[in-house]
A and B are shown apart, each in its own frame.
Chain A
């Protein structure tokens, strides 16, 4: 800030404190930092605020702060902690879960959170069949959720599901009275998509479309303590270079979307703390195993061996090579098997055994337009494939077009660059959506279908014995690697930067880059 005019920013602040402005929700507040307002910059707006239809990193960041699930997931490695439920029991066979709700839990309107509200939320989630409901599809059904008494809920699973506790943090409890009052003809979707009806530690008190969201600490939250942060401003800053400048200047406390280059640039910036942590999000080039040249397993092995893994890591910046389809930091990962690494000799050998020994084919590579790293990886891949005599057409698609193309093997391209999402810390999070044939037609697994893999995925999913599950997963990983179903690329590291006066932040690889506001303090 320039001080040429004889007046610093601090003077401005002092001045404007006199002419303090007020606005809805936050009440009277001085212009500028008062030491309890935490400012976070994100390039993404939340289009849909309905916890039962929205899914993804940004929705997650909002929901964990303005809603409550039965149980929460925190820290690294991810740990399940009490949420609305202060305790729970699980039956011997893993099928019956009983949750005891907190006595003092109330919604933002002051009404108590009862077992009926929990059942109401599960019912609505399952009825709408959107958002996270695919995670519990066929596992929790409406009749399986029962109100035992005001404070007790019993959930009976329709079939065993090992990672059930890992997915429950995604089920957020809504205030039935508010939803019923604004039900409309779409089950309250229009209302909830832009209005909260929750109980979380913060309330959404301000909203300027395309610009910012304001949150205020909920005074009657059922957990005492927390940090000194009273207000949170979530500002939309679309350019990552702007985010970098803002964190450097201390105008925001926390930025979500820095690129690898930005992280390098702020390495020595005073007052800035960088958080670089592994995620559980694997990046694949999914191959079309059901249509076109890549149905040939040897061609798939050839391109898997030709891919420039080191070049890809250079492009991604902060990333770890994947060893097989699953991230290495979860139990059940098979570190012993051999995987494909760049080896043109082997690539040519495999190509020789394929139906296209001299190449001479053209394959397509699609990525989500605007994703720079995916475009660059495409260029590197093009360079590698050319050495096999294979031409690569690189096509950016909008996300809806990509999802639409994934619906059938004929429309699906040969390679699709995609990040698998990490919604819960269990290998099933990848095994089922990405490899089970029931997901065909869905972007998570457009075409791959193999009865052997299906069998293994399901066996591990319903298994209750961890050793047995690990054995099955090891077997499955070795099998898909041998089949070269996809090019398993990398897991990205999470890149966060925050000011060094931020306290109480605990990293978790689940969900979003954005933190829970509750424990945060500014010093």
Chain B
């Protein structure tokens, strides 16, 4: 552990906390290197919980916590972890953090925890988390790992929220559970409108993500491959 603190000091002396390089760790995953739309990771949970906005937001926040804390822990332990069992160690760290979040929510935010039910457990299976542990936290200092974790979780969260806004609005005519489309627009009340039930089914999440990727690439020419 002593080598750890020395190293932290060194990296702290070298550059300011929010140097250009460190800021890029935060901002890159939001656009140029988004875990969902560019790396196409974490799709499984993005499909499952984007039917409504509220669970998507809470899921995004939980992932921010687990990834920030997890990256810091892995980064602190990175020189102590035997490389042959490192994946198991990472899994243990994620799982313990997730159980911790789950227990605390159950005790102090019971209603939110009910809303999320299985999704909290699903965080463990989120490939972005394991990916960042392995690719970044195992080789970088604590502060950088923290920024990287927060950045990637935010990049994941942004897409989650966009998709869920799209799906909840067109699928149920509401946002955050509030009805937005007037009742008398609906066909059963003599109007012209009908909710698109297909939006609530998992395939529409994939299609929505694909649409977001399309729009993103149309604006961000850097992402377009040469051939």
A and B interact: no
Q: Contact residues of B with A, CB < 8 Å?
A: none
